[in-house]
Structure 1
Amino acid sequence: MFSHPHPLILIETLDNGSVSLHDPMKRVELLCDGCVRPITDLPFYRCSQDDCGFVLHEWCTRLPSEIQDHHGHPNHTLVLEPQYGRSLHGVFECKICKLYTNGFTYECMECEYRVDINCAFIPDVITHEAHPDHLLLRIEGSPNLSKTFCRACRRSMDKQPGFRCPTCDLYLHTKCALFLPGKIRHKYDKHALSLRYYPAENHRSEYFCEICEDEFDPEKWFYHCSTCASSMHTACAPLKLYCEKSVLPDDLPVFWFLNVKFGRTVEIIHHPHPLTYEQGLSADGECDVCHEQLQHYVIFKCSRCKFTRHRWCVKKHV
């Protein structure tokens, strides 16, 4: 089982008002340090040290310590490893969904194979609202699928695992099939937006994202409100609070930092102040080491001075 340097407290009620559940409508963010998903229900665990900020879903404390015969890496045992506090560079790319994460992982250290805990338990067969008449079977990415495309994002299936309908030859990437909720709600919208699988308006020129204001392809999945005739990219949709800070380029199918928890602080030897783990914005300017733009990358930032660097430009002295 994972370890944490401080005792954890089980939170079963919110009577004292000291803790609030995740609620984007009220600008309250409470993300689990294990699965990096919002904590919206009781009970959950919180670190006894108020300045730590470590929280876990109750079910994330009951994860198995090992996985045998994992479909993506069947030859070796995968061991549960907490990323929190383990290293300064605690972000990695999951081998299955290809998204970055700093949550808990299952790892084979011998092969450097790592998957986030959301992808560690993907079933072999799923159903999906976009294709309700047939079951979808899990498949691995393959060079043979280089000219086969995901129905959601229209990107190739050659490098990413996903799901396939053998009857209709429909394909979906894992992250497109599992990480896009059917409805979302933003505090500035009167109505919920629904995930659309096909065009909703009459003409292609009518599709502009409400968040980034760019035109988009309605043949790809998108979020839409028929009442307000408003639409947005799936990657621009404000699934969590930090999505509101900055959208990402290239019309990504899923928000790039969906599985990253920002706001953690670390201390390093060669800087006198704590550094905060953040998503780089245009206002952050350039990295003071490589002098490249910080926007759209994971960065370390000091709130007390002008120290701002890409995570890979910060030395590994914690």
Structure 2
Amino acid sequence: ENEDEESADVSAITKVLEWNDAGEATVIEHITHIHHLTLSDRVGEYDNKCCDGCLLPISDSFYYCTQCDFFLHKVCVELPKVKQVWHHRCQSSLVLTSNELFRCVACGYWSKAFAYKCEECKKRTCLRCIIARTPGAHTCVGHKHPVFLYNEYRGGCVACGKNNIKGLLRCKDCDFSLDYKCFSLPITSQHKSDEHLLSLTYHDDNSYSESYFCDICEERRDPNLWFYHCATCDTSAHVKCVIGRHSFFKPGNIIEVRKDIHEHPLIVVKKIYYYPNCGKCGEPCFDLALECTGCNFIIHLACPR
């Protein structure tokens, strides 16, 4: 069993302005945002929004800003400013950071959400992987039993089908294992191929083998692997086709790039129907891209790296 990790008792909430009768902080100041944040449980009104901390959809109690488009899950707000974790090889504490472009050392996704940064090696871990690596039982929406992290276990992931993965979240009661990426997949996601939200689905019960195709790439898919589905339109798609390479960026994020690439800050935009050519490589900019609002310049999200 893994030893419990210790978190430094330093809250990222800098000030509580209002409390409710249940003892919850209803209006707060937080180190990651310049405006006050207000607690809400009206999840249904914001089902098209995502948390700026973990970039997963708003699906539970959350804080929101009344002055701008900023949301945080309650659990993300309550994370400490400094963490000491068992799974990081450096002895240095991890510090909560925001508004920095990084690639998660655990799952490999690029993001500009919150992260915990090691002050010694400078590597960052996204909140989704920090939560997945926290000792103890984890609830998985695609499985009836809790799962536990086995950092040294090597095996296959039931969601994506990849094998020989070291470090999996496993069920103690049955042969069920997930890697970090699949454990942290959004329950719902959007894609230009469908006007509705697509739901993460864990097994295809359709008995017609000819239906096992991805409606985005039109390639075959394994019905035993997880996929995204719209029940209204009967749209089904590979996880990788829906999530893509840059799913953990929020349109509107401002990215500073090297001056030799462009002199102005660039904004993350989502191109759906019009695909201008990248100013660096010349290829069309599909989906997320970086655009300058002051001049006619756009590049792929990956090109500045």
Work out whether the TM-score is over 0.5.
yes
| Aligned residue in 2 for 1:264 | 253
2:280 to 277, 289, 294: 289
When the two structures are superposed, what TM-score results if normalisation uses the length of structure 2? 0.68
User: What amino acid does structure 1 have at the position aligned with 2:159?
Assistant: A
Q: Do the aligned partners of 1:208 and 1:231 also contact (CA within 8 Å) in 2?
A: yes
| 1:243 aligned partner | none
Structure 2 partner of 1:70:
86
Compute the displacement of 1:56 (Å).
Answer: 3.5
Superposed displacement of residue 220, structure 1 = 1.4
Among residues 109, 124, 130, which one is paired with 1:99 in the alignment? 109
SS for the counterpart of 1:205 is helix
Residue equivalent to 2:223: 218
2:292 equivalent among 298, 302, 318: 302
Contact 1:284 1:294 in 2 (8 A): yes
Which of 129, 145, 149 matches 1:138?
149
Distance 1:163 1:47, change over 3 A: same
Match of 1:126 among 119, 123, 138: 138
Would the alpha carbon gap of residues 258 and 141 (structure 1) be closer, same or farther in structure 2, given more than 3 Å must change?
farther
TM-score by length of 1: 0.66
How far apart, in 1, do the equivalents of 2:264 and 2:234 lie?
48
Q: Find the aligned partners of 2:274 and 2:230 in 1 and give their Cα distance.
A: 31
Larger mean Cα displacement after TM superposition, 204-213 or 265-274: 265-274
Name the CA distance, whole Å, in 1 between partners of 2:177 and 2:283: 37
1:22 to 39, 46, 70: 46
User: 1:1-318 counterparts in 2 under 5 A?
Assistant: 1=12, 3-4=31-32, 6=34, 8-11=35-38, 21-24=45-48, 30-39=49-58, 44-46=63-65, 48=67, 53-73=69-89, 75-82=91-98, 84=99, 90-122=100-132, 123-124=134-135, 125-128=137-140, 130-132=142-144, 135-140=146-151, 145=154, 148-158=155-165, 161-165=167-171, 168-181=174-187, 188=195, 195-197=201-203, 199-224=204-229, 230-236=235-241, 247=242, 254-265=243-254, 275-279=266-270, 283-295=274-286, 299-303=289-293, 305-311=295-301, 313-314=303-304
Per-residue deviation at 1:223? Answer: 3.8
Q: Is the 1:45–1:58 Cα contact (8 Å) retained in structure 2? A: no
The 8 Å contact of residues 66 and 77 in structure 1, kept in 2 or not, is answered as yes
> Mean alpha-carbon deviation: is it higher for 104-113 or for 227-236?
227-236
Q: SS at 1:118's partner residue?
A: helix
Aligned residues: 269
CA RMSD of aligned residues (A): 4.0
Maintained 8 Å contact 2:138/2:148: yes
CA deviation profile, 1:233-278 (whole Å, cap 9, x unmatched): 2344xxxxxxxxxx5xxxxxx5543322121245777867663213
Structure with the bigger percentage of strand: 2
Runs of at least 5 residues in structure 1 that lack an aligned partner in the other structure: 15-19, 25-29, 85-89, 237-246, 248-253
CA contact under 8 A between 2:63 and 2:74: conserved in structure 1?
A: yes
CA distance in structure 2 between the partners assigned to 1:42 and 1:169 by the alignment: 32
Where does structure 2 lack aligned partners over 5 or more consecutive residues?
A: 1-11, 13-29
Matched to 1:136, the amino acid is V
Give the 3 Å change call, closer, same or farther, for CA 188–69 of structure 1 in structure 2.
closer
Percentage identity across paired residues of the two chains: 30
**Which residue type is aligned with residue 309 of structure 1?**
I
